[in-house]
A and B are shown apart, each in its own frame.
Chain A
Amino acid sequence: MHARLSPFILVSASKCIGCRVCELACSAAHQRGGVSVGSLQVPLSPRLYLTSVNNVRVPIGCRHCEDAPCAEVCPNNAIIHTTEGVQVEEDRCVGCKTCLAVCPVGAMEMAQVWKRGKPAMRRVVDPSAPGGVRYEPASLASKCDLCRGREGGPACVDACPEKALTLVDPIEVKRRRNFEAALALSRTYEEV
């Protein structure tokens, strides 16, 4: 049990225009490169997903659940609840997709992982190869990590032209709501 509730990114569906800047900024924040799209060294792989249904467009990403089902079901202990939210340890992930199956919002993806400009590889048993194994690019569990270590916080929040994304600290929200309620009540009392 952590002392603090995990922060998460909340999206205002009424503000979202579906431009996908959040996905682009997210992808870029997780790889090396300069200022331009062309300077990125590996393919884009967003960790939140613009989703359209009827007339609603909104990016969906990890809520950093307190009792995270993904962490609960991971057979390899690759998903852990930390002070920086729910995080995937890619080195431990085997790509079993159990997390993907249980996530209540569909925040998990199996994505190709790149390390130092090269795809992360996985070892596959192959009786026909010398030594009986071969290596191939791995698809591993990938999801919002709240841009862990990024100065300025999550890139998607920074980039949204409509300010539709907010990094919510639940404890702060609760405190603010309590203050607002207290003030409202005090006014009501005075008026009555």
Chain B
Amino acid sequence: MSTQVVSIDPMLCTGCRRCADVCPVDAIVGRRNEPQTIDASRCVLCGQCVLTCAAFMSPFDDGAELLPEMLRKRGLAEDDTAPLFAANFRIDRKKVAGMLTDPEKTTMVQCAPAVRVSIAEEFGKAPGTLSPGKLAASLRRLGFDYVYDTIFAADVTVMEESSELLQRMESGGTLPMFTSCCPGWVRHVETAWPDLIPHLSSCKSPQQMAGALFKSYGADQVGKTAGEIASVAVMPCTAKKGEAERPEMQNDGFANVDAVLTVTELAAMLKEKGIDLDSLPEEEFDAPLGLYSGAGTIFGASGGVMEAALRTAIAVTSGKDVDESGVAFVESEEEPGVFRASVEVAGKTVRGVIVSGLAHVAPVLEAVRSGNADFEFVEVMCCEGGCVAGGGQPKLLPGVDVADAVARRRKGLHDHDRELPVRAAHRNPAVKALYENFLQKPLGERSHKLLHTHYGKEAGRHE
């Protein structure tokens, strides 16, 4: 697939430049009152422009008669009543619908943590309404053969990433280590800070780890081959569409993830089929790749990856098996969006930094570049607040308090973490079984092949 993931329709753009105000990497180019374009060499595909844009095709506009054609070009039905906005992301609904009806394919779907605290908004519910059971049920109603969960893979990411951090600390590897879960962040390092690429963890993101496991371990479990599996991801994020297409994100010639739907795309597909999320029963995700802990759950909120990794790192190195790390990260007044704390792990001090929002990341990276970094582990989420605020999340109407909605979605994830019986990744029985029966150990040969990758300066792939 080569169509641009995020774009601005010159037919609809009025040149108000509100998108430029929210772009964390100054990728929106154009003069006021004229249609804007996206500088592909800087754009990280985060979709914040898509969430902000209000320039839509009104039925009273000159050119409104072109609407059916414009809908078709965007991959939507001609009678779709959803408004068309200037800033938009690529719609992959048709591709997924094709997989669902392909008799040759066994479909496996994964759902990112931040989806279950936002999708109900598209059905009239308040922001932060937690609906994992209904989400699983809705995916089953759409026709997916196996309804799995990205959170399972987030738990695997904790295993791999915390091991990698400990290994880098023991062996004198490149520090500080940067998380690599957020594709917008990874892309920003590649495009704007390429000299810091070695700091990125070699872990694939949970989306990609899940996909790699679907087509190996998962395929074995259901008696299929990798080629017979169609792997679909439901994400709160537009950059995940780009991530899935990276050439590094495949094994044995098969892409780990074949198609990515955003929350809004999934909601639209459900409505098209007459599936009302609210009236569905609560159902479980399928085992084993849909079983998850509280640790993986909070990956959807900024700070969550760090907290999840600490829970396991503390347990593995000290034997103190905690539900919560107890580490409080503090934001300083001089550095908005940057949170710091230190913690003892294996007799060593690990100093962690959490950055919420790419717009706040530059001073932290300057410190790393100049050799003045006084920290070992950095978690960065491109969108302020984390994936709960991603560009694939429901687009909020004017007048709705965005910060409040994001806070409610975050709270939804933290509530979910607290109510789960298992709250640390290494205690997830499905993760234990995965290592016992398949991967052997974190950073092992199979993990390395399936779950790790390399990042590089491959800018410009966003045609």
Query: What is A's interface to B at a CB cutoff of 8 Å?
Result: 17-21, 23-25, 28, 33-40, 42-46, 49-50, 52, 55, 57, 109, 111-112, 155, 158-159, 161
Report if A17-B17 is in contact (Cβ < 8 Å); known contacts: A24-B54, A36-B121, A43-B81: yes
Closest Cβ of chain B: how far from A85's Cβ, in Å? 21
Minimum CB–CB distance for B33 against chain A, Å: 6
How far is A42 from B18 in the complex, measured between Cα atoms in Å? 26
- A182 shortest CB reach to chain B, Å: 38
* A residues near B126, Cβ cutoff 8 Å: 34-35
> Between A and B, how many residue pairs show CB distances below 8 Å?
111
Contact yes or no, B397 A18, CB < 8 A: no
Is the CB–CB distance between B395 and A36 below 8 Å? yes
CB neighbors of A among B113-140 (8 A)? 121-127
| A18 to B, closest residue via Cβ | B14
Contact with A along B29-73 (1 / 0, CB 8 A): 000110000000000000000000011101110000000000000
Q: Are B122 and A155 in contact (CB under 8 A)?
A: no
B83 at interface by CB-CB < 8 Å: yes
Evaluate contact between B398 and A28: CB separation under 8 angstroms.
yes
Say yes or no: B398 contacts A39, CB within 8 Å.
no
- Given A18-B15, A23-B58; A38-B398 close (CB under 8 Å): no
Residues of B within 8 A of A159 (CB): 398-399
Contact for B59 among A17, A19, A36, A43, CB less than 8 A: A43
Contact partners of B81 in chain A: CB under 8 A:
42-43
CA distance A38 to B83 in the complex (A): 9
In the complex, B222 has a CB within 8 A of chain A: no
B396, A36: Cβ atoms under 8 Å? Answer: yes
Residue with the highest number of chain B CB atoms closer than 10 Å, among A36, A44, A49, A52 = A36
Q: Please list the 10 inter-chain residue pairs (A to B) with the smallest Cβ-Cβ separation, ordered nearest first.
A: A36-B394, A159-B398, A19-B16, A34-B124, A38-B122, A25-B398, A18-B14, A21-B54, A17-B16, A43-B81
CA distance A55 to B122 in the complex (A): 37
Query: Known interface pairs A18-B16, A52-B14. Does A39 touch B56 (Cβ–Cβ under 8 Å)?
Result: no
- Taking a contact as CB atoms under 8 Å apart, the answer to whether A37 and B58 are in contact is no
B1 contacts partner chain A, Cβ-Cβ < 8 Å: no
Is B405 on the interface with A (CB-CB < 8 A)? Answer: yes
- The reply to whether B56 and A34 contact each other, CB–CB distance below 8 Å, is no
Question: Do the beta carbons of B399 and A158 come within 8 Å of each other?
Answer: yes
Report A47 CB to chain B, min CB distance, Å. 10
CB distance from A31 to the nearest CB of B (A): 11
Residues of B100-156 at the interface with A, using a CB-CB cut-off of 8 Å, are: 121-127
A49 pairs with B397, CB closer than 8 A: no
Known: A34-B121, A35-B405. A17 touches B18 (CB 8 A): yes
Q: A37-B397, A38-B268, A44-B56 are in contact. List 5 more A-B contacts (CB 8 A).
A: A17-B18, A19-B18, A20-B56, A25-B397, A109-B60
A21 to B17, CA, bound (A): 12
A174 to B399 alpha-carbon distance, docked (Å) = 30
Determine which of B16, B18, B33, B267 lies in contact with A38 in the assembled complex, contact meaning CB atoms within 8 Å.
B267
B127 neighbours in A (Cβ, 8 Å) = 35
Quick check: B58 and A46 within 8 Å, CB to CB?
Answer: yes
A20 to B86: give the CA distance in the assembly, Å.
11
Residues B400 and A35 in contact, CB atoms below 8 Å apart: yes
What is the CA–CA distance of A42 and B79 in the complex, to the nearest angstrom? Answer: 12
Contacts A17-B32, A18-B16 given: A43-B397 contact, CB under 8 Å? no
Identity of the chain B residue whose Cβ is nearest the Cβ of A35 in the assembled complex: B400
Query: In the assembled complex, how far is the CB of residue A110 from the closest CB belonging to chain B, in whole angstroms?
Result: 9
- A38 and B16 CA atoms in complex are apart in Å by 23
Question: Which residues from B are CB-within-8-Å of A33?
Answer: 124, 397
Residues B371-398 near A (CB distance < 8 A): 394-398
Please, which residues of chain A bring their CB within 8 A of the CB of B121? 34-36, 38-39
Residue of B nearest to A32 (CB): B124
| Interface: B302 (CB within 8 A) | no
For A20, the chain B residues whose CB sits under 8 A away are 14, 16, 54-56, 58
Taking the closest CB of chain A, its distance from the CB of B401, in whole angstroms, is 9
A36 touches B397 (CB 8 A): yes
A45 CA to B54 CA in the complex, in Å? 14
B52's nearest neighbour on chain A, judged by CB, is: A19
Subset of 19 A-B contacts with CB under 8 Å: A17-B18, A19-B16, A21-B54, A23-B56, A25-B398, A34-B124, A35-B400, A36-B122, A36-B264, A36-B397, A37-B82, A38-B82, A38-B395, A43-B81, A46-B58, A112-B59, A155-B398, A158-B399, A159-B398
Distance to closest chain A CB from B57 (angstroms): 9
Take A45-B59, A52-B14 as given contacts and tell me if A25 and B124 are in contact as well, using a CB distance cutoff of 8 Å: no
| A191–chain B nearest beta-carbon distance, Å | 43
Chain B residues closer than 8 Å to A37, beta-carbon distance? 82-83, 394-397
Chain B residues with CB under 8 Å of A40's CB are: 83, 397
Bound Cα distance A19, B86 (Å)? 10
Q: Residue of A at shortest CB range from B59?
A: A45
Please give, as numbers and ranges, the residues of chain A lying within 8 Å of B55 by CB-CB distance: 18-20
A34 nearest CB neighbor, chain B only = B124
Residues of B within 8 A of A28 (CB): 397-398
**Contacting residues, chain A, for B124 (C-beta < 8 A):** 33-34, 39
List, in ascending order, chain A residues with CB within 8 A of B83's CB.
24, 37, 40, 43-44
Q: Closest A-chain residue to B393, C-beta based?
A: A36
Contact flags (1/0) for B254-296 with A, using CB distance below 8 Å? Answer: 0000000000100110000000000000000000000000000
